Every structure is written in C-alpha cells, then in structure tokens.
Amino acid sequence: MSIFTEPILSACIVLYNSGIRVLHAVQCFQESDIDLELHVVDNAPGGTLGMHLQWQCPGVQYYPQRKDLGYSGGHNLVLPNLRSQYHLLCHPDVTFDEHLLSNMVAYMERNKDCIILSPKIVDKDGNEIPQPRRRPTLKYLLAQAFRNLPGPFKAWQEEYTLADSDIRTPTSVETAAGCFLLIRTHALQQLRGLDPKFFLTHGDSDLSRRALEMGAIVYHPDMVVTHDKQVKSRNLPEIMKRFGEGLHFLNKWGWSGSK
C-alpha cells in the first residue's frame, strides 16, 4: 500500500539483451510502498521477455524498439510521457527494499535544492561498488580504460570514484551514476533529457554536469541499492568506444574539468 496519495514517481529501465533478470527489478518496483509509473524500453526485443513483463507485471509500460537507441536514447523515449514530480533512471540488474523509493522521494521533498539523488551501490555480497562521482578528466578516463594495468591508474580510479574519501554522510558530488539516478522530472524535461550522442556511457556524467547548474547532486550512503552486474571482460573495440565517448565529454565540457 502506498504511503502517498498520488503517483509522484516514475521510473524507466532500458534493456539490451538483459534477460529475465529484469523481472527482479520490476518486482522491487511493484512491491515498493509508493505509487509509481514504470516504463521499460527494450532496445533488443526478442524471445518471451516482453510477454513475461506484460503477463507478470500488470501496469508496466513496455516499449519494444526496432533498433538500439542506446542508454540515452532509450531513456529519452519516455520523456514526453512523464507526468511525475520525480523520475528514476535505472538499470535492469538492480534490487532494493520496499522503503527505498519512498525514502528517496521524502529526502528530495525535504531538500528542495537537491536536483539529483544518488544512492550507495553495493554488490550481491554487500560490498560497495564505487561509482564515478567526480567530473571526468583525461586521467580519469585513462584510469577507467587501464584500471587493471600497473602504474597510477588504480589511484586515479579511486580518486575518480571518491573511494579515497570519507563519504559516510550525505555529500554533494559532481556526478551521479546512471544505474540508479533520481532526478526532479521538471529538471530532466527542462534539460531535454540525456544527450543522445552519449550512446553507451557518460550520458549520466553529461546530465549531471548540466543539472549542477540547477541545484545540488547528493550522494546518500544510507540509501542502498544492490547492483548484481554481470562482470564481463571488455574487448578492445568496446574499450575504445567508451574512451571515445569520454573524449566527447571532454570536448564538450573542457579537458581540465574546470570549464
């Protein structure tokens, strides 16, 4: 039963060959103690996933696509349909408890200067997954691309994700991770959503950079989401694509991070 009288929250999950694991995330939304509208954009429809979502998850709005719109394009697809006060960008491989969403909305209600709220992300064993929270710079892009090599890359990666900082209380940060990002809907619409030029990565970095001109981005360690991400070794073309989109971010916002 919802503790709110109207669905002030909406959420969108973007899929790409995600499999039925998204049903666990959808179940978390359905069991939440807040009314919401849930949108699922499928960039690679096929098999029985669409039927499962429509049969097992009544009320979910499902959008199968003929071509891959990417992370940013998938989330932008639902932007004209949003009537909520708050909107959540979400990955398909997350789970959370029934009180998380209402707690996040309540925090945003109390803190009107907060534009984006970013929770603590942990793996299935409860270990924190440090997320990028500083603005990308060239050395941070190199750290992400070559994090497993010897040299300064590991230290740069820890600096980039604030793994070397004390953030045990709510903290203003520069970047919110797109795997679970709560934003005020009017702000997302005013910003015209995500930049579709960021097809695979750094769409959240760019959105955060633009949102900072409207208010604060807050990382809240007491809001916890489990991200059961399947770790895959990245091949060179994927690494180069991600690095290229990072360079696009630097070209847009400046290479030093101070622009």
Strand spans (E) along the chain: 9-15, 36-42, 61-64, 86-90, 94-95, 114-122, 171-173, 180-184, 216-227
Is the pLDDT assigned to residue 237 strictly greater than 60? yes
- Position 88 scores a pLDDT of 98
Contacts of 144 (CB under 8 A, 6+ apart): 132, 157, 160, 242, 243, 246
Instruction: Pick left, alpha or beta for residue 4 (phi over 0 → left; psi -120 to 50 → alpha; otherwise beta).
Output: beta
Q: Name which residue leads in pLDDT, 234 or 88.
A: 88
> How much is the pTM?
0.92
Q: Which residue has the tokens 């925090």?
A: 107
Domains recognised in the chain with CATH numbers: 9-253 (3.90.550.10)
Distance from C-alpha of 84 to C-alpha of 57, rounded to nearest angstrom = 20
Using alpha carbons, select from 244, 252, 191, 243 the residue that is nearest to residue 217.
191
Is the pLDDT assigned to residue 52 strictly greater than 90? no
Angle at 47 between CA 46 and CA 53, to 5 degrees: 90
Distance from C-alpha of 22 to C-alpha of 129, rounded to nearest angstrom = 20
> Distance of alpha carbon 166 from its chain centroid, rounded?
22
